[in-house]
């Protein structure tokens, strides 16, 4: 596979994993990335997990010791320094303030072009989330969704699901997609990508490493809903790398809906894609065309 003409990173953060915007741009330069979608992560006080504090900006620590996450203010600071390198995203917490109005204001005042990252402990199909998704659709903002459910053996030996953990399950996701046909959704995270395989319910690991089996629910979702896309960052790469032969078929089948993304600075996804001998057409779609079709700078 030859190198792409351009690279757009559709899933990135600043003040994340010890890198501010200056370090992030240096990393982007080193890897030939033209620009990136920068995404927020609003953390409500009751959702805070101290395990993430070491990865986040200490200036966003609240007086009560909880962390506010990756703020819109952080992203605007990055864009101020590098206006040609970042597209700003923002997703207000559906349970804090008037989230739909905040999203509208962020577009009108700050030129936000992506609704993301949606990463909250509330089911996707909660009416308060649906309201935010519909406003995003009206404003032509793709919504980057984080679906991450905890797994582990329950009392009956079957995997355990918590329907309020970062979105719920693919059933909650499907109901949200059905309720918002005019909104573009970009799937992301372990709870989404493990559904590439038909054995997702029987495998307790968040990042399965076994070969992909037929019947994965992602196939049905992509076939039914043309407004569903996905980025290949982090868990997306893990889903592809677990079965490279399947990965090439999957990328070919869904080439119009998949976006290159990293989530944190590394070269792992690019290195893997280079091993697959993808056509020039598929390469250009994944690395930049699909992202540019959804969002223009």
* Helix, strand, or coil (residue 27): helix
Distance CA 216, CA 54 (A): 35
Q: Looking at the domain assignment, is residue 135 inside a domain?
A: yes
Q: Looking at the domain assignment, is residue 109 inside a domain?
A: yes
Q: What is the pLDDT of residue 203?
A: 78
Q: Looking at the domain assignment, is residue 21 inside a domain?
A: yes
> Which residues make Cβ contacts (< 8 Å) with residue 227, sequence separation at least 6?
177, 180, 181, 182, 183, 184, 185
Q: What is the pLDDT of residue 206?
A: 84
Domains held by the chain: number: 1
Q: What is the pLDDT of residue 204?
A: 72
Q: What is the pLDDT of residue 254?
A: 98
> Which residues make Cβ contacts (< 8 Å) with residue 98, sequence separation at least 6?
none
Distance CA 225, CA 222 (A): 6
Q: Is the pTM of this model over 0.85?
A: yes
Write out the residue range of the structural domain in which residue 176 sits: 8-294
Q: Kind and range of the H or E element at 245?
A: helix 244-253
Q: What is the pLDDT of residue 158?
A: 63
C-beta neighbour count of 211 within 10 angstroms: 12
Q: What is the pLDDT of residue 1?
A: 67
Tokens matching residue 111: 């030129």
Cβ-contact 103, 92 below 8 angstroms: yes
> Which residues make Cβ contacts (< 8 Å) with residue 209, sequence separation at least 6?
242
Q: Looking at the domain assignment, is residue 25 inside a domain?
A: yes
**Block means of pLDDT (10 residues each) for the chain, length 297 residues?**
90 96 98 98 96 96 98 98 98 98 98 98 96 98 92 60 81 97 98 95 85 97 98 97 97 98 96 96 98 96
Q: Looking at the domain assignment, is residue 3 inside a domain?
A: no
C-beta neighbour count of 63 within 10 angstroms: 5
Q: Looking at the domain assignment, is residue 93 inside a domain?
A: yes
- 75-84 contacts, C-beta under 8 A, 24 or more apart: 75/14, 75/38, 75/39, 75/40, 76/110, 77/14, 77/21, 78/14, 78/20, 78/21, 78/24, 78/38, 79/38, 81/21, 81/22, 82/21, 82/25, 84/35, 84/297
Q: What is the pLDDT of residue 249?
A: 97
Q: Looking at the domain assignment, is residue 2 inside a domain?
A: no
CATH number at residue 13: 3.20.20.140
Distance CA 97, CA 51 (A): 26
What torsion do the CA atoms of 125, 221, 284, 7 make, to the nearest 10 degrees? Answer: 30
Q: Looking at the domain assignment, is residue 81 inside a domain?
A: yes
- Burial label for 109, CB within 10 Å (0-12, 13-18, 19+), is exposed
Distance CA 273, CA 294 (A): 22
């Amino acid at each position: 596979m030859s190198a792409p003409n351009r690279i757009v990173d559709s899933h990135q953060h600043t003040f994340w994993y010890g890198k501010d915007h200056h370090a992030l741009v240096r990393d982007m330069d080193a890897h030939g990335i033209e620009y990136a979608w920068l995404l927020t992560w609003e953390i409500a006080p009751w959702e805070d997990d101290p395990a993430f504090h070491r990865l986040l900006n200490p200036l966003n620590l609240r007086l009560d010791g909880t962390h506010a996450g990756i703020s819109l203010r952080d992203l605007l600071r990055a864009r101020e320094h590098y206006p040609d390198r970042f597209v700003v995203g923002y997703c207000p917490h559906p349970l804090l303030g008037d989230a739909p109005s905040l999203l509208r204001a962020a577009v009108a005042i700050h030129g936000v072009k992506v609704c993301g990252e949606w990463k909250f402990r509330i089911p996707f199909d909660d009416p308060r989330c649906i309201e935010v998704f519909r406003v995003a659709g009206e404003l032509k903002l793709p919504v980057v969704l984080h679906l991450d459910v905890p797994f582990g053996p329950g009392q009956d030996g079957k995997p355990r699901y918590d329907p309020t953990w970062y979105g719920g399950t693919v059933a909650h996701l499907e109901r949200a997609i059905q309720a918002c046909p005019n909104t573009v959704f970009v799937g992301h995270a372990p709870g989404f990508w493990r559904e590439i395989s038909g054995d997702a319910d029987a495998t307790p690991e968040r990042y399965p490493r076994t070969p992909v089996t037929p019947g994965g629910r992602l196939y049905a979702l992509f076939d039914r809903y043309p407004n569903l896309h996905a980025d290949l960052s982090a868990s997306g790469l893990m889903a592809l790398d677990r079965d490279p032969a399947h990965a090439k078929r999957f990328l070919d089948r869904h080439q119009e809906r998949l976006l290159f993304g990293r989530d944190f600075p590394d070269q792992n996804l690019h290195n893997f894609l280079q091993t697959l001998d993808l056509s020039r057409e598929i390469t250009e779609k994944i690395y930049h065309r699909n992202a540019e079709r959804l969002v223009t700078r």
